[in-house]
């Protein structure tokens, strides 16, 4: 990746052309981020209008911004918009952004296009932690207990991955293979818990294994927003370091990057982010795998732009998937994890075929 030149004078015609091309590319990237943000806002408004009781856009605005000159919304419509649709859409957007961010960070750290919170076992470990709380009923922390135990499950996965990677020389291949093995192990442990639990607990635990937004509310919005506030600034701060890591560990070290500390620190932050999301949505697959690839196709590999683009795309994709799950079939609400799997599978197959034709994956 070519750094931006700071001065145009004394650089000759070729240097001036390089500067202009760089600035044009960055302007296009900012424009794309703006378009993604507008698409996200449009999807939010659309989601707030749809439902068994359709709400006109003007009434949605009245419900969200009461007391302004355009009048008051109907009390029933205001309650539905503010307390049912808005928290669900907000949770979907924040959760989608979180899972997509986790995917792009893991794919860069491990330099593997198959890396994601799902394939590396982070979602499985978090789901097992939450399942233990649900089945045993033991939690000294109330609602936060599920989040805490889910984080401990994801943290255990991250520590095992890092320990195995260190034992094998911290190679990306060792890390990804360890993560895949842990995914199968924790999925098997969760299945065993379901097998020996009662009917009610089985139904509750299945929520975590499939992925759903049926329990979305302002609590889930708050917790996931806090996790993003803690992790996203760190991801953006280390964006230049992630760009160097694309050159390989040896080249990154020669440029002054502490590769080991960067990898450990960011993997722990990813564990926190994934655990918080999974605590309220369950294991939603494919989103952390597909969204980063789509973002690279649209905006390139510069993490200063790739990270926000991935977050916006992840939020947009999960909000759209949730709208499909709610409105695809009358009187039936599908688990959003099923929708993301159906939509993500063919898209990811296309990405694999595109890579075989020579396009870079990362």
The DSSP code sequence of 199-240 is HHHHHHHHHHHH---TT--HHHHHHHHHHHHHHHHHHHHTHH
Q: Of 8-17, 174-183, 326-335, give the lowest mean pLDDT range.
A: 8-17
Question: What digits encode the pLDDT tens for the residues 27-76?
Answer: 899 999 999 999 999 999 999 998 878 888 888 888 887 776 666 777 88
Domains of the chain, by residue range, sit at 87-356
Which of 106-120, 160-174, 284-298 holds the top average pLDDT? 284-298
Average of pLDDT values for 170-181? Answer: 74
**Distances, alpha carbon 165 to alpha carbons 118, 158, 162, 170, in Å:** 18, 10, 5, 4
Share of the chain above pLDDT 70, in %: 84
Region 351-362: mean pLDDT is 60
| pLDDT band per the 50, 70, 90 thresholds, residue 10 | low
Residue 9: what pLDDT? 52
The residue-averaged pLDDT of 20-32 equals 85
Give 123 or 304, the one with higher predicted confidence: 304
What is the band of 307 on the pLDDT scale with cuts at 50, 70, 90? very high
User: pLDDT at position 2, please?
Assistant: 47
Report, as an integer, the average pLDDT of 249-269: 86
pLDDT band with cut points at 50, 70 and 90 for residue 236: very high
pLDDT of 174 above 90 = no
Least confident of 80-94, 132-146, 184-198: 132-146
What gap in Å lies between CA 26 and CA 5, rounded to an integer? Answer: 13
pLDDT of residue 360: 53
More confident residue, 44 or 133: 44
Taking residues 2-26, report their average pLDDT. Answer: 65
Higher local confidence (pLDDT), 327 or 226 = 226
- Which fold, 87-356? ABC transporter involved in vitamin B12 uptake, BtuC (1.10.3470)
Across 48-57, 67-76, 86-95, 344-353, the highest mean pLDDT is recorded for 86-95
Burial of 280 (0-12, 13-18, 19+ CB in 10 A): buried
| Predicted model pTM | 0.87
**Is the pLDDT score of 257 beyond 60?**
yes
Per-residue pLDDT tens over the stretch 194-212? 777 776 667 667 766 778 8
Report residue 166's pLDDT band, with 50, 70 and 90 as the boundaries: low
- How far apart are the C-alpha atoms of 191 and 189, rounded to whole Å? 5
Across the range 307-326, mean pLDDT stands at: 94
CA distance 14 to 29: 23
- Please say if the pLDDT value at position 320 is more than 60: yes
Highest averaged pLDDT of the listed ranges 128-142, 192-206, 335-349: 335-349
Rounded to the nearest integer, the mean pLDDT of the chain is 82
**Residue predicted with more confidence, 84 or 145:** 84
User: 169-173, 263-267, 311-315: lowest mean pLDDT where?
Assistant: 169-173
Q: Is residue 330 very low, low, confident or very high in pLDDT (cuts 50, 70, 90)?
A: confident
Q: Confidence class of residue 187 from pLDDT cuts 50, 70 and 90?
A: confident
Q: Own/partner pairs for 26-29, CB < 8 Å, 24+ apart?
A: 26/305, 29/299, 29/300, 29/302, 29/305, 29/309
Q: Where are the alpha helices (DSSP H) in the chain?
A: 12-49, 57-64, 75-80, 86-110, 122-136, 143-167, 172-196, 199-210, 218-237, 239-245, 249-254, 259-281, 287-299, 303-327, 336-356
């Amino acid at each position: 990746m070519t750094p931006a030149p700071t001065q145009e004078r004394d650089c000759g015609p070729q240097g001036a052309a390089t500067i202009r091309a760089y600035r044009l590319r960055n302007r296009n990237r900012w424009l794309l981020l703006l378009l993604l943000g507008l698409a996200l806002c449009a999807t939010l408004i659309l989601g707030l209008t749809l439902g068994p009781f359709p709400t006109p856009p003007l009434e949605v605005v009245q419900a969200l911004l009461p007391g302004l000159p355009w009048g008051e919304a109907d009390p029933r419509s205001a309650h539905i918009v503010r307390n049912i649709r808005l928290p669900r859409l907000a949770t979907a957007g924040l959760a989608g952004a979180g899972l997509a961010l986790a995917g792009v960070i893991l794919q860069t750290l491990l330099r593997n296009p198959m890396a994601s919170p799902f394939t590396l076992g982070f979602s499985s470990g978090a789901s097992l932690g939450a399942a233990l709380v649900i089945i045993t009923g033991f939690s000294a922390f109330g609602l936060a207990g599920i989040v805490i135990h889910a984080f401990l499950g994801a943290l255990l996965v991250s520590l095992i991955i890092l320990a195995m990677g260190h034992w094998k020389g911290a190679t990306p291949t060792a890390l990804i293979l360890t993560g895949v093995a842990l995914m199968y192990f924790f999925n098997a442990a969760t299945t065993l818990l379901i097998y020996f639990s009662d009917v009610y607990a089985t139904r509750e635990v299945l929520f975590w294994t499939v992925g759903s937004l049926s329990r979305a509310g302002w609590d889930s919005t708050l917790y996931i927003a806090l996790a993003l506030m803690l992790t996203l600034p760190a991801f953006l701060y280390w964006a230049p370091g992630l760009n160097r890591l694309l050159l390989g560990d040896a080249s990154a070290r020669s440029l002054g990057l502490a590769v080991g500390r960067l990898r450990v620190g960011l993997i722990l932050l990813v564990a926190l982010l994934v655990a918080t999301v999974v605590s309220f949505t369950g294991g939603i697959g494919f989103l952390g795998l597909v969204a980063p690839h789509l973002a690279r196709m649209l905006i390139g590999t510069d993490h200063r732009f790739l990270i926000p683009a991935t977050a916006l795309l992840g939020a947009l994709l999960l909000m759209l998937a949730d709208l499909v799950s709610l409105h695809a079939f009358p009187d039936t609400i599908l688990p959003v994890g099923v929708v993301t799997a159906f939509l993500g599978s063919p898209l990811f197959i296309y990405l694999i075929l595109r890579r075989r034709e020579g396009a870079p994956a990362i």
